[in-house]
Amino acid sequence: MTPPKSTPAPPAPPGPVAAPSAASVDRPGVRNEGTPFDPGWIDEVRVNRSASERRAATVAPRRSVKKAHQAAWLARAVTLIDLTTLAGDDTPGRVRRLCAKARRPVRDDLLDALGLGDVGLTVGAVCVYPTMVPHAVAALEGSGVPVASVATGFPAGLTPMETRLAEVRWAVAEGAAEIDVVITRAHALRGDWRALHDEVRAFREACGEAHLKAILATGELGTLTRVGQASMVAMMAGADFVKTSTGKEPVNATLEVGLTMARAVRAYRERTGFRVGFKPAGGIRKAKEALAWLALMKDELGDPWLRAELFRFGASGLLGDIERQLEHHVTGRYAAAHRHPSA
């Protein structure tokens, strides 16, 4: 492969790419400012589950990529990973090892063989618990890799509001550039959308300059319509990303949920011009799953959502399988999984 001048962009598969309404004013690179609460926007959200499931089932078969094209897509996927450790037994040493992997996510010999040795490939971010933020910030100094922190009583989000806001402010003060907050699911389950809007807005204000990712815990919301409505409310409140899951629910990121949220992102962009990011998280462990998510983003939202500014994978085990597939592309052989540890 010829060495590119920058991080490789996946080749475009054939087929239409969704475009914003001609009437909208696109604002690339401008942070989502949010909008006043408007229940009319929420009432308009309706999702046909069976149609969504049929559409999601076509993504991987219709967008298959092979050989050099697949290697390029997988290299791009590496740059979109929020490399994550959210375990009860996390230690500073584990976080430092994870950060070392974030700096050099793919072995140098594989990158050289792919023609990517001079690209400076890194993951999108490292995601940790608030108390691990100082250790991650120190380990990533000078790398350009941001630190993301979960907050607001992750994963349940049922601590008092004052405590949740204090946790956000503390993580930001310690150097977190991105905050992954969990919403109060009860607001969505009851349809109390104004309460959800006010909650996410308060989190956004507590974040200051740090970017806000709103975790919807979609596996606990019951219906795709409610997922779409919760996505719209979070964006109206100023979320920079909407995220599927904490990774702790029985059902986490699925393609039909991703389709619903991507279309909510598109609808919000058409109304406001603001581009909001999307992050599927939980259960994405295989390279072929990453390819399906990239194909879905390209189909529904277009090329800008194939970059870390607007798309991330929340994952801990995905990187190892991607590196294993890249080694197969280079050598023609599959390596044992232990040859590609995450940390």
Each residue of 42-56: pLDDT tens digit? 999 999 999 999 999
pLDDT at site 21: 42
Convert the pLDDT of each residue in 4-41 to its tens digit: 444 444 444 333 333 334 345 788 888 999 999 999 99
pLDDT at site 28: 83
Nearest to 224 by CA among 38, 37, 43, 53: 53
Q: pLDDT higher for 6 or 175?
A: 175
At 260, list the tokens.
């619903």
- Vertex 272, ends 47 and 32: CA angle to 5°? 100
pLDDT at 62 over 90: no
pLDDT at 231 over 80: yes
Contact 319, 123 (CB under 8 A): yes
pLDDT at site 94: 96
Q: pLDDT higher for 1 or 151?
A: 151
Over residues 217-228, the mean pLDDT reads 97
Convert the pLDDT of each residue in 277-316 to its tens digit: 999 999 999 999 999 999 999 999 999 999 999 999 999 8
Q: pLDDT higher for 25 or 252?
A: 252
| Mean pLDDT, rounded, of the chain | 91
End-to-end Cα spacing for the chain: 28
pLDDT at site 343: 54
Domains of the chain: which residue ranges? 39-332
pLDDT at site 206: 98
Over residues 133-161, the mean pLDDT reads 97
pLDDT at site 60: 86
Over residues 98-102, the mean pLDDT reads 97
At 182, list the tokens.
């969990």
Contact 11, 68 (CB under 8 A): no
Lookup result for tokens 């690179």: 29
Cα gap 167→133, rounded to integer Å: 12
Nearest to 311 by CA among 296, 331, 323: 296
pTM of the model: 0.90
Is the domain 39-332 a CATH 3.40.50.300 member?
no
Contact 88, 47 (CB under 8 A): no
Residues tagged active-site: 180, 243, 279
- DSSP alpha helix (H) spans, the chain: 39-43, 49-62, 67-78, 92-103, 108-114, 133-139, 161-173, 185-190, 193-207, 224-236, 255-272, 287-300, 318-331
pLDDT at site 342: 66
